[in-house]
Structure 1
Amino acid sequence: MRAPDFLQSTQASYDAIAEAYAAEHPDSLAGRPLESALLMAFAELARASGGAAQAPVADIGSGPGYVAARLHGLGLPVFGIDVSPRMVALARRAHPELRFHVGSMTALDLPDGTLGGIVALYSTIHVPDDHLTGAFTEFRRVLRPGAPVLLGFQSGDEDGHLRLSERYGREISLDYYWRSPEAVADRLGEAGLDLYAQVLRAPQGEEKMPRAFLLARGPAPAPPGAFRPSGRG
Structure 2
Amino acid sequence: MTQSPYDAVAVRYAEQFRDSLRDRPLERALLGAFAELVRAGDAGEVLDLGCGPGYVTAHLRELGLNAFGVDASSAMIGLAREACPELRFEVGSMAALDLEDSSVVGVLARYSVIHTPPEDLPAVLAEIGRVLAPGGHLLISLFATDDPGATWQDYDHTVTTAYRWSPDHFAGLLREAGTAEVARTLCEPLPTDRRQFQELQLLARKG
- TM-score using structure 2 length: 0.94
Using the alignment, how far apart are the partners of 1:157 and 1:49 within structure 2?
Answer: 36
Q: Is this contact kept in 2: 1:106–1:135, CA < 8 A? A: yes
Q: Could you tell which deviates more after superposition, 29-38 or 153-162?
A: 153-162
Letter in 2 for 1:79: F
Residue 34 of structure 2 aligns to a residue whose secondary structure is helix
Equivalent residues in 2 for 1:153-192, closer than 5 Å: 153-158=142-147, 159-164=152-157, 167=158, 174-192=160-178
The answer to whether the aligner puts 1:13 opposite 2:22 as a matched pair is: no
Using the alignment, how far apart are the partners of 1:213 and 1:162 within structure 2?
Answer: 19
Given candidates 195, 202, 217, the residue that maps to 2:205 is 217
- TM-score using structure 1 length: 0.83
Using the alignment, how far apart are the partners of 1:30 and 1:80 within structure 2?
Answer: 20
Q: Is this contact kept in 2: 1:49–1:145, CA < 8 A? A: no
The answer to whether the aligner puts 1:91 opposite 2:80 as a matched pair is: yes
Using the alignment, how far apart are the partners of 1:58 and 1:30 within structure 2?
Answer: 22
The runs of 5 or more residues in structure 1 that have no matched partner are 1-6, 220-233
The answer to whether the aligner puts 1:104 opposite 2:90 as a matched pair is: no
Equivalent residues in 2 for 1:1-233, closer than 5 Å: 7=1, 10-50=2-42, 54-158=43-147, 159-164=152-157, 167=158, 174-207=160-193, 208-219=196-207
Using the alignment, how far apart are the partners of 1:202 and 1:156 within structure 2?
Answer: 12
Residue 134 of structure 2 aligns to a residue whose secondary structure is coil
CA shift for structure 1 position 31: 1.9
Identity among equivalent positions (%) equals 46
Using the alignment, how far apart are the partners of 2:94 and 2:87 within structure 1?
Answer: 19
Using the alignment, how far apart are the partners of 2:135 and 2:119 within structure 1?
Answer: 26
Residue 135 of structure 2 aligns to a residue whose secondary structure is coil
CA shift for structure 1 position 206: 2.5
Using the alignment, how far apart are the partners of 1:27 and 1:144 within structure 2?
Answer: 31
Using the alignment, how far apart are the partners of 2:205 and 2:95 within structure 1?
Answer: 18
CA shift for structure 1 position 198: 0.8
CA shift for structure 1 position 175: 1.4
Residue 144 of structure 1 aligns to a residue whose secondary structure is strand
The runs of 5 or more residues in structure 2 that have no matched partner are none
Number of residue pairs the alignment of both structures matches: 201
Q: Which has the larger radius of gyration?
A: 1
